[in-house]
């Protein structure tokens, strides 16, 4: 077996080390990687922020983050190893001369410099200039960033240009944390390692596909960010389109980053534009009002802390997506995502076509179609809904719908399912770009999203309301009903 720790050690520099992203996600993921023995022994983690502080205080912050944002018990032996890697340096990121200190605290000969930009994009220019000017960067150095990479095509080009002025495209690792999820990656295995899903995966056998990413939570104190963003930009531009590309792409030649990315880009290019001519029939915007989730009363979006009561920002989106290529002609993809919904559920449902003739009329007037249900979270797994004969010696054959159920936790009892961030932080340290987004993918996705956003702006309608704790506005049901279909409930 290949040694788990064969990558070159890194100096992982976290810009914004005391911020939310670092405390809620990064430090916890790194601790878990330590626990799994996956961090190269000589790798160091250097926290950078504008506040005064020292290594001990940073270690204390990291420990508190684990206690506050993670449910696991800290193991002292693991913690000792982990905390020995941590150090802290104060840099005011807007002051170029302050970056010189990086020459003292990093060693770009012994280790690869991995710069994690865990700050707002308006600081990216400063950081890029600071890094370039102080001379720590080499061809091996990397930068890692994540959404929001802009709020539209233009602003995303600006950010990518700033980064490109210092880092070449192969040095840039853009995170979409859904690509670190085990079940999203499993889509590759499901589609390209199983012959039953190769010849059947197209318009000949598939009727339509549904992708649901539902969240119970509201906006959790992020009103200000969210209100400027909305669910389309926050979730569809990235996570849902990524899931869609994995389901819809052609088989890549291999698992190399450029092979996978090229296939994903082809799908994004084939998305039929939604414009002011068809936005009404293709999309639904919703906003939650007060309601009950699991029996507890929850406030509406406009009643959340810090809310602007006149806001028209959407917390729910449903879209009919058409992909104009040979494989998917005539097969709609229905996407739906929202906050304040009935439950946390991310799943893909592939509806196969109905058979042309039914010889089991005693059981069903019309034979229900087969379904492949892929649960991404929670309870990761795959189910196939099919028809079977009910055992018995009746005169007539009686059928019943049954499910073949493969739950990952049952099937892979010994394997721990790693979180998205853990996987991606590790891959960034390993220098494996396959699970990160290319500039072209992001810009292509924005082009498609911008057109929807423009069309919505053109009509300037208020979103349809839905009580928190439901599956979204009635209009979302009507979106499918118009096509003679219904959401999987």
Kindly state the smallest distance separating residue 466's Cβ from ligand BG6, in Å. Answer: 17
E strands, 91-190, where? Answer: 112-117, 142-146, 172-175
Place of tokens 């995966």: 201
For residues 282 and 345, which CB has a smaller minimum distance to ligand BG6 in the complex?
345
Q: Judged by CB, which is closer to ligand BG6: 20, or 256?
A: 20
| Chain centre to alpha carbon of residue 171 | 21
Contacts 24+ apart (CB under 8 A), 33-37: 33/422, 33/425, 33/426, 34/78, 34/81, 34/82, 34/85, 35/75, 35/78, 36/416, 36/418, 36/422, 37/4, 37/5
Sequence-distant (≥ 6) Cβ neighbours of residue 238 within 8 angstroms: 147, 176, 178, 445
304 near ligand BG6, judged by CB under 6 A: no
CB-wise, 230 or 300, nearer to ligand BG6?
230
Give the span between the Cα atoms of 448 and 444, in whole angstroms: 7
Alpha-carbon gap, residue 408 to 379, rounded angstroms: 8
Work out how close the CB of 295 gets to ligand BG6 at its nearest, in angstroms, rounded to a whole number.
Answer: 22
Closest separation in Å from C-beta 215 to ligand BG6:
5
Q: Tell me the closest approach of the beta carbon of residue 31 to ligand BG6, in angstroms.
A: 18
CB of 88 to ligand BG6, least distance (A): 27
x-marked contacts with ligand BG6 along 63-92 as a string, rule CB under 6 A: ------------------------------
Question: Which has the closest alpha carbon to 276: 11, 40, 24, 459?
Answer: 459
The question of whether 239 is a catalytic residue gets the answer yes
- Around 121, how many Cα atoms within 13 Å sit in the side-chain half-sphere? 17
- State which residue, 234 or 450, has the beta carbon closest to ligand BG6: 234
Q: Is 215 in the site for ligand BG6 (CB under 6 A)?
A: yes
> Measured from the CB atom, is 171 or 315 closer to ligand BG6?
315
For ligand BG6, the closer of residues 83 and 245 by Cβ is 245
Q: Which of 151, 177, 208, 239 is catalytic?
A: 239
Q: Residue 241 to residues 184, 206, 346, 442, 448: CA-CA distances in angstroms?
A: 12, 19, 13, 10, 10
For the bound state, the minimum distance from the C-beta of residue 150 to ligand BG6, rounded and expressed in Å, comes to: 14
In the bound state with ligand BG6, the residue whose beta carbon lies nearer, of 49 and 146, is 146
Closest listed residue to residue 260, CA positions, set 162, 188, 315, 357: 188
- Residue number, 80 or 417, with CB nearest to ligand BG6: 417
> Rounded to the nearest whole angstrom, what is the least distance from the CB of residue 463 to ligand BG6 in the complex?
17
Q: Are 232 and 452 in contact (CB under 8 A)?
A: yes
> Per CB under 6 A, does 234 bind ligand BG6?
yes
Token match 């906006």: residue? 219
The sign one gets for the Cα dihedral 132, 138, 139, 145 is negative
CB 238 within 8 A of CB 147: yes
Are the beta carbons of 316 and 338 closer than 8 angstroms?
A: yes
Our finding on whether 182 is near ligand BG6 (CB under 6 A) is no
Tokens of 86: 């941590």
What residues numbered 408-447 form the site for ligand BG6, per CB under 6 A? none
- What is the SS3 string spanning 422-438? HHHHHHHHHCCHHHCEC
Q: How far is the CB of 439 from ligand BG6 (least distance, A)?
A: 19
- We find the least distance from the C-beta atom of residue 213 to ligand BG6, in angstroms, to be 7
Q: Which residue is nearest to ligand BG6 (CB)?
A: 234
Residue in 307, 269, 260, 270 with CA at minimum distance from that of residue 288:
307
Residue 234: CB atoms within 10 A of its CB come to 24
Q: Which residue has the tokens 């959401």?
A: 487
The answer to whether 159 and 124 have CB atoms below 8 angstroms apart is yes
> Token pair for residue 331?
């097969």
Contact residues: ligand BG6, CB under 6 A: 215, 234
Active site residues: 239
């Amino acid at each position: 077996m290949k040694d788990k720790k064969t990558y070159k050690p890194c100096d992982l520099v976290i810009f914004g080390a005391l911020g939310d992203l670092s405390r809620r996600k990064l430090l916890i993921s790194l601790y878990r990687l330590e626990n799994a023995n996956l961090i190269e022994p000589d790798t160091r983690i250097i926290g950078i922020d504008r506040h005064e502080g020292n290594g001990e205080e940073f270690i204390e912050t990291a420990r508190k983050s684990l206690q506050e944002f993670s449910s696991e018990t800290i193991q002292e032996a693991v913690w000792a190893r982990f905390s020995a890697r941590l150090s802290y340096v104060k840099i005011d990121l807007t002051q170029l001369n302050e970056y010189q200190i990086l020459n003292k605290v990093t060693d770009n000969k012994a280790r690869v410099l991995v710069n994690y930009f865990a700050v707002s994009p308006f600081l990216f220019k400063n950081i890029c200039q600071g890094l370039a000017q102080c001379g720590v960067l080499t061809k091996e150095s990397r930068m890692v960033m994540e959404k929001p990479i802009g709020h539209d095509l233009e602003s995303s080009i600006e950010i990518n240009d700033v980064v490109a002025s210092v880092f070449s495209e192969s040095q840039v690792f853009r995170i979409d944390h859904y690509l670190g999820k085990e079940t999203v990656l499993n889509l590759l295995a499901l589609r390209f390692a199983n012959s039953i899903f190769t010849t059947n995966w197209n318009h000949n056998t598939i009727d339509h596909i549904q992708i649901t990413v539902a969240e119970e939570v509201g906006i959790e104190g992020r009103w200000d960010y969210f209100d400027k963003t909305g669910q389309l930009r926050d979730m569809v531009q990235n996570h849902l389109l990524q899931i869609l590309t994995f389901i819809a792409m052609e088989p890549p030649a291999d698992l190399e980053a450029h092979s996978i990315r090229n296939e994903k880009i082809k799908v994004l290019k084939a998305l039929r534009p939604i414009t002011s001519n068809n936005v009404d029939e293709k999309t639904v915007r919703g906003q939650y009002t007060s309601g009950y989730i699991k029996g507890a009363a929850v406030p509406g979006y406009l009643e959340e802390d810090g809310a602007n009561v006149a806001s028209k920002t959407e917390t729910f989106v449903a879209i009919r997506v058409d992909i104009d290529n040979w494989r998917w002609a005539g097969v709609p993809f229905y996407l739906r995502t929202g906050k304040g919904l009935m439950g946390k559920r991310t799943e893909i449902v592939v509806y196969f076509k109905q058979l042309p003739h039914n010889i089991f009329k005693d059981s069903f007037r019309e034979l229900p179609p087969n379904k492949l249900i892929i649960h991404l979270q929670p309870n990761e797994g795959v189910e196939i809904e099919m028809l079977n004969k009910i055992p018995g010696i009746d005169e007539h054959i009686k059928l019943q719908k049954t499910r073949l159920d493969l739950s990952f936790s049952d099937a892979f009892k010994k394997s721990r399912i790693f979180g998205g961030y853990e996987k991606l932080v590790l891959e960034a340290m390993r220098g494996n770009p396959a699970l990160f987004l290319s500039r072209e993918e992001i810009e292509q996705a924005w082009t498609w999203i911008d057109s929807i956003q423009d069309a919505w702006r053109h009509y300037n309608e208020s979103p349809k309301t839905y009580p928190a704790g439901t599956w979204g506005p009635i209009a979302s049901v009507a979106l499918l009903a118009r096509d003679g279909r219904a959401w999987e409930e």
